[in-house]
Amino acid sequence: MSERTETTASTPLQARLAGARAAGRAALVGYLPAGFPDVESSIRVIQAMVEGGCDVIEVGLPYSDPTMDGPTIQQAADRALAAGTTPRDVLRVVEATAATGAAALVMSYWNPIDRYGTGRFCADLASAGGSGVITPDLLPEEAGDWFAATDEHGLDRIFLVAPSSTDARLASTTEACRGFVYAASLMGVTGTRAQVADTAERLVTRTRAVTGESGLPVCVGLGISNGAQAAEVAGYADGVIVGAGFCQRVLDAPDLPSGLAAVRGFAEELAAGIREARPAGHAG
């Protein structure tokens, strides 16, 4: 692993997470693949997500081999790829997302970034107003070039931890993160579930135990499908991450206006649940 430096300026992501914490609540983080159902429509869907209460948007870079994604997000990504979505389109969606005032991240498997060019991708993302990148299949010990590029362009980098992560892995991963650490609440692929995995709170507790004085936020994703679940997670996490639920509402809608209304309403439900939660350990 290469020697790393820390940026001192706050990114939009760090500012939005700090603002939510100051307000005594968790942040709402929404995910949507760029280009789903097409590029211009995905921008409108993201605008509806922000209007409904999302603080942070993960813009997905559609990929043909999404090993960690469940059927709903795979279907959405397939639609985006069929529409001809390119990495340049993803950056255009990031720029439009940043214009809403929400913090804009990219969620991407490593191969598309590597093919684009690590330094070039970071430079272009920063120019588009992006705050950082979530790389679910990249291990910190294999990310030397990634550390250098994200440091150079002032981008946050988010890695994942899981219930199976050892304490040593939790420590090394959180030390590598900037912005927040993504706590995948269960083993398996993404998708909505009837209840939040009981491993989620324990994972957040274990992760916080190794973040030390940094106060690095811990955001929880995988399986959140309604306002009650969002409230449950907001009681112990710094952020509530929702993806499949937004994609499903677009997939189920007979037309785009109906999809936008459904997405906005879903975001409002999640945001209301978060506001009603009693934060434990992250309000300040």
Dist. CA 34–CA 248, nearest whole Å: 15
- Asked if residues 274 and 231 have their Cβ atoms less than 8 Å apart, the reply is yes
- Asked if residues 89 and 35 have their Cβ atoms less than 8 Å apart, the reply is yes
**Which residues share a beta bridge with 105?**
58, 132
- Residues known to be catalytic: 58, 69
Dist. CA 243–CA 11, nearest whole Å: 22
pTM as predicted: 0.91
Amino acid letter for position 249: R
Angle formed at CA 130 by CA 36 and CA 85, multiple of 5 degrees: 25
pLDDT mean for each 10 residues of the chain (284 residues): 49 97 96 97 98 98 79 93 96 98 97 97 98 96 96 97 94 96 68 59 94 90 89 96 96 98 98 83 42
Dist. CA 261–CA 267, nearest whole Å: 10
Question: How much is the pLDDT for 4?
Answer: 44
Instruction: State CA 264 to chain mean position distance.
Output: 18
Dist. CA 144–CA 138, nearest whole Å: 11
DSSP state of 26: P
DSSP state of 213: G
Dist. CA 24–CA 14, nearest whole Å: 15
Q: Is 222 exposed, middle or buried (0-12, 13-18, 19+ CB in 10 A)?
A: buried
Neighbours of 188 (CB within 10 A): 14
Question: How much is the pLDDT for 197?
Answer: 56
Question: How much is the pLDDT for 193?
Answer: 43
Neighbours of 99 (CB within 10 A): 13
Angle formed at CA 132 by CA 166 and CA 229, multiple of 5 degrees: 60
- Asked if residues 30 and 246 have their Cβ atoms less than 8 Å apart, the reply is yes
Question: How much is the pLDDT for 188?
Answer: 42
**Could you give the 3-state DSSP secondary structure of residue 142?**
helix
| Residue pointed to by tokens 């588009």 | 128
Biggest alpha carbon–alpha carbon distance for the chain = 52
Going 131 to 159 to 181 to 74, the CA torsion angle's sign is: positive
Amino acid letter for position 272: A
